Structure 1
Amino acid sequence: MNLELNNTEITGKHTPDPLRFAFNKKKGPHAGGMAKPVPHEHTQSTLSTAYSAKGEKGPRCLYIHIPFCRVRCTYCNFFQYASSSQLIDRYFDALKKELLWKASLPWTQAYPFQAVYIGGGTPTDLTAKQIQQLGKMIHDHFPLTPDCEITLEGRINRFDDQKFESALAGGINRFSFGVQSFDSKVRRSAKRLNDGDEVLQRLQHFVSYDSAPIVIDLLYGLPHQTLDVWAEDLNLYLESGAHGVDLYQLIEMQNLPMERLVKQGKLPFPANTQVKAQMYKMGVEFMAQHHQRRLSVNHWSSDNRERSIYNSLAKTCAQVLPLGAGAGGTVNGISTMQYRDMDKYIEAGSNNQFAAAMAFFSAPNAALINGIKAAFDRGVLSATALPQGVFEQLRPLFDIWQRNGLVDVQQGYLSLTLAGQFWSVTLAQNLIWLMSNNLVSEHHVPDEQVVIHNNKTHTAA
């Protein structure tokens, strides 16, 4: 196995401060594997075959995409359509049609779903009636486990009590709000629509219902977000009473509104990698100090109500059924990204076709890739998660990672240090790349037939 041990992009740098300087920057939001594109002319027949077979029993999730936002945040690359009631109504009718069709297919009905995520975009821009109807349709038409986690993602903005109660009536049992920061100056510069004190009050109000877990996203590295502001964001998470929190770092702002505003001098530069590393350290230490239960390298819960099932499964080992314009998923070894263009999405549904803009055959080592992603998301890779003997084959790489302060290897386990946790996606991607290239070489797959396909976990914008 070619481990490329002289390549610091793979091994990281040997530095007294690996948290800040092991790599130049994060490679992306999530690790991905290598997949082979399905020829466009075979997309429909390939997907029809995939959905016609029951497939293997295993974790399954449902992802539903609502591609509307009232305003585009400066850091967001998911924005598709500005919210309008007429456009949302037209889209919702098409979404219901796709839901009923895909729910009836053999693959869908074969085994129950462990988690459902209604993401975007801003799903809370749906009307109260639509939110409740969508929840009921999920319950009525999909096989769900008795403890299935059904998450509605969104903003505090214009999410009133009627919408919240309608969601509960529709069977939504988890809510994820993209707070990003409680600081009003940071929020306004990022085009968030409510001041921080209002967000805090609304979160506390929803928590007081005691009806479902309320979790939030906090984003670190935003313009105007100093270390003191970040410290207060962490404190206000506790004050909100939320049942869980994700800490995400701001990644590259290339071609996003934030980049343009910075170049125009209308925003200060966001935090560099070294400052974001410090913010991550502050977050990890804060959560430990306040005895928050750690569920992954970037997610914590305040009690046992928050389980984060969708995030842990969809990023790793689950098959994901996609619904809606811009949704992505994998069914029976075929991964798809659906049309982002609403007209194309609606037209496909009208013609009783899959709304797939592109499709891929999963990598031949997909199970291995998923195992690596799951392990690095947890922060621990076991030798038993790899094929027999592979852990030892990788020891030269692991030893360098250990010398570089990124991991600790003991008794068949590779544990991520604090620095390794910060760089977990980069380490996972590097390991996946190395193992996939070796597998590709062994199977003599021409390079031009292989593409990197990063499955995207949608988080609140």
Structure 2
Amino acid sequence: MILTPTMTGITSPDPLQHAFKVKSAPHAGRSGSRPVFLKPEQWQQWWQQPSQATERALYIHIPFCRKRCTFCNFFENGTNPQRINRYMQRLTEQLKIAADTPLAQSRPFNTVYVGGGTPTDISSDEVKRLGEAISRFPLIDNAEVTLEGRLNGFDDDKWHNATENGFNRFSFGVQSFDTQVRQAAGRFDDKDYLLTRLNQLSLHPSASIVIDLIFGLPGQTMEIWQQDLQAVIDSGVHGIDLYQLIGLSGTRIDHAREKGKILGTALSEYQADSQARANMYATGANHFESLNWQRLSSCHWRRDSRERSVYNSLAKSGIEILPFGAGAGGSIHGHGCMNGRDLKQWHLTHDEADAAGTLTAPVQVPGMLMSPNPAAKLDAIFKRGLDSGRLDLNLLAKDMTLHLMPLFKAWQTNGLAKLETSSLALTLAGRFWNVNMQTGLFEFLSENPFVASQEPAAQSIAS
């Protein structure tokens, strides 16, 4: 039996700060799939086959931003009204074609997520046309339909066109309310504007307003972070995501660090280390839970039941997600897929398809397809359970639970989890380090393989 510190963490008087060295990735996963090539006629056939998925989503990507934030390493295309208009015309055309296929119509969709980029940079009329295109798909009653973006430029006209055309959840990247921290991070607008606008939107009788905060931004002290947390309450929003700043390569923060600089504020170059970020997470979690906000995952809390976080929850469960747009990712018939980000190639492929004749399925754009992951259902149990803070052991075969027990006991010894009668409950420290723990679990299974013939099909995941 091989156990390493990257799997188990280390014994420490303060596991919140020291169980692992650093969180180095936003998500965890393991290999098991391989790239596959699909001929155009096979791609067309896929869209004529009914789906076998029990839960489904749409993911729609809008790859434009007016400005590159200092912490971002996936800036794709600068905002330009003409470029956006051309893209949105193509995108809505493809959505309409897809919506009429047997694959799309065979089963309803639980949730839709429009991400980016900055989707709210599209025009008000484009918001309306996008909502109309989405409505052509079969959606369950009260399906969650999210529009992601920022408050800057999201005026009343866009807001009304969004709420009147099916969007019922709005996720805004605030990152910090502190005006100087925001300016240093490359964000628009000051604290007063954000609070005023969020209060206005949160008065809507049914739409859910959710915001993101990042802890660990340059110049963001614990005092500023505590003010950010209070500002969430003052804003009236219905849900909050707390994300740790990850030192990803290619960001402006990373380039500055290579030169020995910190992109701090005019008042501070404070840069929270891993231990300080752990304390920020704990402060945030305790703040919202002391006010009776419900924790839906290790990083997401809600004020009331209108916020459901359906897409974020189901996406961790390995559901079918049909992807649309340059840079969109998802899965079709169990095959993972990632559309290429090159906007020029994306448009060229559509131009060629138009010239070839009438389409009966969405265009097969450049990108990558992966073979089905043989352990996808099992991996989804692990990822969703650990992300929520409680892994239901009843969802695992007894032999699998026994196989993992040395790892679970090590986590318990190191203050990351507690073994209960039928579940593994993460501590506050475990919730902070849950991505490291997921990575460690997959490493454990790689180094200590579970005999394939013993591994049963994973049971369905409870909602």
Q: TM-score when scaled to structure 2?
A: 0.91
What residue number does 2:295 align with?
294
Give the corresponding residue for 1:218: 213
Is the aligned partner of 1:425 residue 2:425?
no
1:13/1:47 CA distance change after superposition, 3 Å: farther
Cα 1:43/1:191, change in 2 over 3 Å: farther
Q: For residues 117 and 110 of structure 1, what CA distance do their matches in structure 2 show?
A: 20
Q: Does 1:281 pair with 2:282? A: yes
Task: Give 3-state SS (helix, strand or coil) of 1:69's partner.
Answer: coil
Show the counterpart of 1:412: 422
**Which of 13, 26, 48 matches 1:29?**
26
AA of the residue aligned to 1:402? Q
- The unaligned stretches of length 5 or more in structure 1 are 444-461
> What is the alpha-carbon distance in structure 1 between the residues aligned to residue 110 and residue 319 of structure 2?
9
User: What does 1:330-341 align with in structure 2 at a 5 Å threshold?
Assistant: 330-341=331-342
Deviations, residues 27-50 of structure 1 (Å, cap 9, x unaligned) = 41112232423344x364554454
Partner of 2:172: 177
Distance 1:232 1:306 in 2: 23
1:379 equivalent in structure 2: 389
Aligned mates of 2:443, 2:93 — CA distance in 1: 39
- Quick check: 1:126 aligned with 2:127? no
Q: How far apart are residue 289 of structure 1 and its match? A: 1.1
Judged with a 3 Å threshold, the aligned counterparts in structure 2 of structure 1 residues 425 and 48 are, in CA distance, closer, same or farther, namely: farther
- Kindly indicate whether residue 254 of structure 2 is the aligned counterpart of residue 259 of structure 1: yes
Q: Conserved in 2, the CA contact under 8 Å of 1:372 and 1:432?
A: no
- Work out whether 1:73 is the aligned partner of 2:69: yes
2:215 corresponds to which letter in structure 1?
Y
What amino acid sits opposite 1:244 in the alignment? Answer: G
| Residues 12-21 or 96-105, more deviating | 96-105
CA contact (8 A) 2:7 2:443 kept: no
Work out whether residues 403 and 450 of structure 2, in 8 Å CA contact, stay in contact via their aligned partners in 1. no
Return structure 1 stretches of 4+ with deviation > 6 angstroms. Answer: none
1:229 aligned partner, one-letter code:
I
Q: Map residues 185-264 of structure 1 onto 2, 5 A cutoff.
A: 185-262=180-257, 263=259
RMSD: 1.8
Structure of higher RCO (CA pairs closer than 8 Å, 6+ residues apart): 1
Q: Distance in 2 between matches of 1:89 and 1:280?
A: 40
Take 2:140 and 2:85, find their aligned partners in 1: how far apart are those partners? 30
SS class of match (1:52) = coil
Contact 1:51/1:332, CA 8 A, preserved across alignment = no
Separation in structure 2 between the aligned mates of residue 395 and residue 272 of structure 1, nearest angstrom: 32
Of 380, 392, 402, the residue aligned with 1:370 is 380
% identical equivalent positions: 41
**Structure 2 partner of 1:15:** 12
The alpha carbon displacement at 1:331 in A equals 1.3
**Match 1:162 to one of 157, 170, 182:** 157
Specify the alignment match of 1:147 in structure 2: 142
Q: 8 Å contact 2:220–2:270 — kept in the other structure? A: no
Q: Which ranges in structure 2 are unaligned for 5 or more consecutive residues?
A: 264-268, 354-362, 454-463
**Aligned mates of 1:409, 1:32 — CA distance in 2:** 23
Query: Which one-letter code corresponds to 2:396 in the other structure?
Result: L
- The one-letter code matched in structure 1 to 2:433 is W
52, 57, 60: which one pairs with 1:56? 52
State whether residues 65 and 325 of structure 1, in contact with CA within 8 Å, keep that contact through their aligned partners in structure 2. yes
Q: Distance in 1 between matches of 2:393 and 2:400?
A: 8
Tell me if structure 1 keeps the 8 A contact 2:206–2:306: no
Shift of 1:245: 0.4
- The Cα of 1:440 is off from its aligned counterpart by 9.1
Question: What residue identity is the alignment partner of 2:240?
Answer: V
Q: State the partner residue of 2:107.
A: 111
1:272 is matched with 273
Retained in 2: the 8 A contact 1:11–1:400?
yes
Q: Residue 61 of structure 1 contacts residue 320 of structure 1 at CA under 8 Å; is this kept in 2?
A: yes
| Higher mean C-alpha deviation, range 44-53 or range 119-128 | 44-53
Q: Deviations over 1:180-200 (max 9, x none)?
A: 100011100000011121111
| C-alpha distance in 2 between matches for 1:371 and 1:431 | 12
Q: 1:249 to 1:138 in 2, by over 3 A?
A: same
- Report the Cα offset of residue 410 of structure 1: 1.6
Distance 1:49 1:119, change over 3 A: same
Residue 304 of structure 2 aligns with an amino acid whose one-letter code is D
Aligned partners of 1:35 and 1:360 also within 8 Å? no
5 Å matches for 1:91-110? 91-110=87-106
CA deviation digits over 1:168-219, x for unaligned, max 9?
1111111110001000111000000111211111111111233411110011
Which residue is equivalent to 2:266?
none
Distance 2:47 2:387 in 1: 29
Aligned counterparts of 1:340 and 1:441: Cα–Cα separation in 2: 39
Q: 1:309 to 1:287 in 2, by over 3 A?
A: same
CA contact (8 A) 2:335 2:369 kept: yes
More off after superposition, 182-191 vs 47-56:
47-56
Aligned residues: 438
SS across alignment from 1:271: coil
Cα distance in 2, alignment partners of residues 260 and 27 from structure 1: 17
Residue pairs, 1:441-460, within 5 angstroms: 442=452
Q: Report the more deviating stretch, 425-434 or 127-136.
A: 425-434
Q: For residues 294 and 181 of structure 1, what CA distance do their matches in structure 2 show?
A: 20
Q: Helix, strand or coil: the match of 2:33?
A: strand
| Per-residue Cα deviation, 1:336-392 (whole angstroms, up to 9, x for no partner) | 110101111122233443114111012111000011111011111121222332112
